[in-house]
Amino acid sequence: MIHSISAQLACLSFSLAVVAGVRAGNSFFTVLTRALVAMIVVLVVARIVAALGAVVIREHLVSRKLGIDRAHVAAIAAMNADAESNPAEGGR
């Protein structure tokens, strides 16, 4: 997904640079050179930003899962403690 997003943004920047260069009346070589530079810069920046976003999302999901797991362990411990304190009701 990181590569897909960065490639799409790079293609978008290339096309925008070509349109802007043609509208400005620049030569073919100038337009193509600037568009390629813009594409490479956006590709690198977009990959870095997308990778950082993926790390942030992964850390958030791991922390949520840890909280859910802790709640489950606490609930099971409470059920076990209740079953041990009331052995007649625990054996249903």
Confidence of residue 82 (pLDDT cuts 50, 70, 90): confident
- For the segment 11-15, the average pLDDT, to the nearest whole number, is 97
In this structure, the number of other CB atoms found within 10 A of the CB of residue 43 comes to 18
Who's near 41: CB < 8 A, 6+ residues apart?
A: 13
Model pLDDT, residue 81: 85
Is the pLDDT higher at 38 or at 84?
38
Check whether 59 has a pLDDT greater than 90: yes
Give dist(CA 39, CA 41) in Å, integer: 6
Check whether 61 has a pLDDT greater than 60: yes
- For the segment 36-42, the average pLDDT, to the nearest whole number, is 97
Tokens for 77, please give them.
């411990």
Check whether 26 has a pLDDT greater than 90: yes
Percent of the chain exceeding pLDDT 70 equals 93
